[in-house]
Amino acid sequence: MSSGSHSLISRGMYEIQLRQWFKAFPPEMFLVLKLEDMKMEGGVQLVMDRVWQHLDLPSFRVKDTSPKNARSYTDSLSEKTEDVLERFFAPHNQRLKGLLGCEWDSPWT
């Protein structure tokens, strides 16, 4: 935690990062998206349609939806490490759900 914004752990505490922005600006100004939503069939287009709608821009067809800079972060995690991380992030994710709504109940699924 001592490495500030460069810490992989603290960067996963989304609610802490968003809270101050939501205090400074109306929450409806923000569109918070899950990268995982882009990975499902047709997901890139669906996510981008939400972006353009939020920005009040005309829709645009995305031609290349192939992944870029994609890698798995969990392939090398042991079950024990994954369990520790899930338990650590549980209260942070609960606050994120309170801030963003039920669809954020489990941000990594």
Residue 28 DSSP one-character state: G
d(Cα 33, Cα 98) in Å, to the nearest integer? 16
d(Cα 65, Cα 74) in Å, to the nearest integer? 23
pLDDT-derived band of residue 109, with 50, 70 and 90 as boundaries?
low
| pLDDT at 5 (0 to 100) | 57
Tell me if 90 sits within 8 A of 13, measured CB to CB: no
Tens digits of per-residue pLDDT, 16-70?
989 999 999 998 999 999 888 888 889 999 999 999 999 999 999 999 998 887 7
What's the predicted TM-score (pTM) here?
A: 0.76
